[in-house]
Amino acid sequence: MTLGTVDTLRSETFLTEYLVPGRPVLVRGALAGWRWAPPWDLTTLAERFGGLRVPLYDTLFALRGLSTFGDYVSRHTRAAWHDEPPYLRWFSRQGPERLPWADDAFAALVEDWSVPTFLPDSGYVFPHPARAADPVRDSFPGKGIFVCGAGGRTRLHTDPWGSDACLCQAAGEKRVIMFPPAPGGFPLWRDARPAFDEILEPGDAVYIPAGWCHTVLALSDSVSLTWNFVHQVHAGRFTRHLAEGGAEDATVRYFR
């Protein structure tokens, strides 16, 4: 089974074919509503946000240090491929901790991007179940700007909170590999053939369903936007997640 790539996707089709059954899909040109080229290339981003502080992570989610956006771009991008540059994962505020959050950058970018039209525009149960949350303007769990030099990667993981994710590619190419949900969380090696293995290009978005293990490799200097969500079609699963201890998670508590 290779799950694939589509050139257009209506939200009704996304709902029944992908969101409800939890099947990944890459949508080419899904970011057609974005303001293009200038805001998203690294030089322009560094001109706008160069002085802002950013956290740097390893290939998973361990904090490695702090830097500035400009310093990261000059040290770790536009270089020949070197293995594993640190990964700039710049999240909007997720909790009371003191980390360099991306809220000021997101506030400056509100005119530059929009939610891909294949995603339902209402019916989300997490976060902010009481009101419609706007991913462009509001803080969301896991909502972040991901920047890395060629060779940067995110190792195999599943996303937290029993949530789905939308990963939008603003600049550069990434290889995205996914494995279907498996008992115990990680795929068994004997049948660890990825069900999904696609190249994400600028203007594309990929839907990462809850429970799918995924790993992502930047093939060139890369800028992505990503956020997590739970739609009401998966309200039962989310309720079970909360009942099984998920309600104690600091991020879930911050957003409910």
Ligand X SMILES: O=C(O)CCC(=O)C(=O)O
Q: Which of 18, 57, 140, 146 binds ligand X (CB under 6 A)?
A: 146
Binding flag, residue 169, ligand X (CB under 6 A): no
138: its two tokens: 């509001």
Q: φ and ψ at 249, to 5 degrees?
A: -60, 135
Nearer to ligand X, 20 or 61 (CB): 61
**Sign of torsion over alpha carbons 122, 137, 58, 28:** positive
User: Which amino acid, one-letter code, is at 145?
Assistant: I
Q: Which stretch binds ligand X (CB under 6 A): 47-55, 120-128, 208-216, 242-250?
A: 208-216
Binding mask 81-120 for ligand X (x = CB under 6 A): ----------------------------------------
159 binds Fe ion (CB under 5 A): yes
Does the protein bind ligand X through residue 159 (CB under 6 A)?
Answer: yes
* Residue 154 found at the interface with ligand X (CB under 6 A): yes
- Report the alpha-carbon distance of residue 235 to residue 238 in Å, rounded: 5
Determine contact, residues 87/58, Cβ cutoff 8 Å. yes
99-103, long-range: CB within 8 Å, 24+ apart, which pairs? 99/55, 99/63, 100/52, 100/53, 100/54, 100/55, 100/66, 102/54, 102/144, 102/145, 103/139
Which of ligand X, Fe ion, none interacts with 146 (beta carbon under 5 to 8 A by kind)? Answer: ligand X
Residue of 45, 143, 226, 252 that binds ligand X (CB under 6 A): 226
* Chain residues that interact with ligand X, rule: CB under 6 A: 146, 154, 159, 165, 167, 174, 208, 214, 216, 224, 226
The contact set with Fe ion (CB under 5 A) reads: 159
